[in-house]
Amino acid sequence: MKNAYIFPGQGSQFSGMGRALYESNPISKQYFDEADSIFGFAISEIMFGGTDEQLKQTNITQPAVFIHSVAAFASLPDAKPDMVAGHSLGEFSALVANKALSFQDGLRLVAVRAAAMQKACEKTPSTMAAVLNLADDVVEKICREVQEETGEIVVPANYNCPGQLVISGSMTGIEIACERMKAAGAKRALVLPVGGAFHSPFMMPAREELAAAIEKTNFNVPVCPVYQNIVATAVVDPAQIKANLVAQLTGPVRWTQCVEAMHSAGATHFTECGPGKVLQGLVGKIVKEVTTQAVS
């Protein structure tokens, strides 16, 4: 029996996030206070009482989810992960949990990542869409065909669980792909209210900026493996962890495959740390005969 700790990404934020942890747990409180100090403004106040609109801003959302996730993990005095993983942004929280990264360095990298992604979104209009109840190989095939026939960028971005795959690309490409997905039998192919095409070639400028910041940051040998999005396998080598973090910005989040690999490696209990319970729900759809819980 092994314990896996998992960490959510952008989209799980909500107004009031972290307040209960801050008020009830002195160890967690230190993380919020330190984050305020590093940023030079009270991001905790935006988390506790900001509007949904404020929390949707990428430069606030990503650090907020990271801070909450690490503080939630820190509130578990007996947490001893045998393996960790995070969904997209959550990979940084996972790397703090397995001690590959310090909280301070992780927060600085998340801030760089968020700002760089925001700039990339503003540079060229792009978007994402959720495709439901269509086999992964069919979604992949349609993405390839749209790209080959139109020259528009359309790629698989998030393999969330069987029957739920998010695609990413140009406005025109996503529109064409959605129509073809529905024609192929998708229950839904819905354009998402996001700022841009995350995990696609549109993030190349952000990837270069993040790579420079990661190169200057110290990564330690972790206390347990991290199952990284881009490869969906256990990784412990700091140099490989760095390379995979960079590649993740323009490559897909293979969450389904990560959870399957963790289960194959012996994970029987999954604990989600951070705002919401989205990953807990996805795990239940990916593998059976495991237990799950959420700490938020």
CA separation for the pair 17, 277 (Å, rounded): 13
Amino acid at position 26, single letter = P
* 88 exposure class (CB count in 10 Å sphere: 0-12, 13-18, 19+): buried
Nearest to 210 by CA among 107, 117, 81: 117
Alpha-carbon distance 142 to 288, whole Å? 29
170 phi/psi in degrees, rounded to 5: -70, 160
CB 196 within 8 A of CB 127: yes
Measured distance CA(236)–CA(227) in Å, rounded? 9
Element (H, E) at 128: strand 126-132
Judge whether 81 and 31 are in contact, CB under 8 Å: no
> What is the enclosing helix (H) or strand (E) of 36?
helix 26-39
Which tokens go with 94?
């996972």
Buried b (16+ CB within 10 A) or exposed e, 149-172: eeebbbbbbbbbbeebbbbbbbee
Q: Catalytic residue positions?
A: 88, 199
- What is the CB neighbour count within 10 angstroms for residue 147? 17
Q: Are strands 164-170 and 126-132 parallel, antiparallel or unpaired?
A: antiparallel
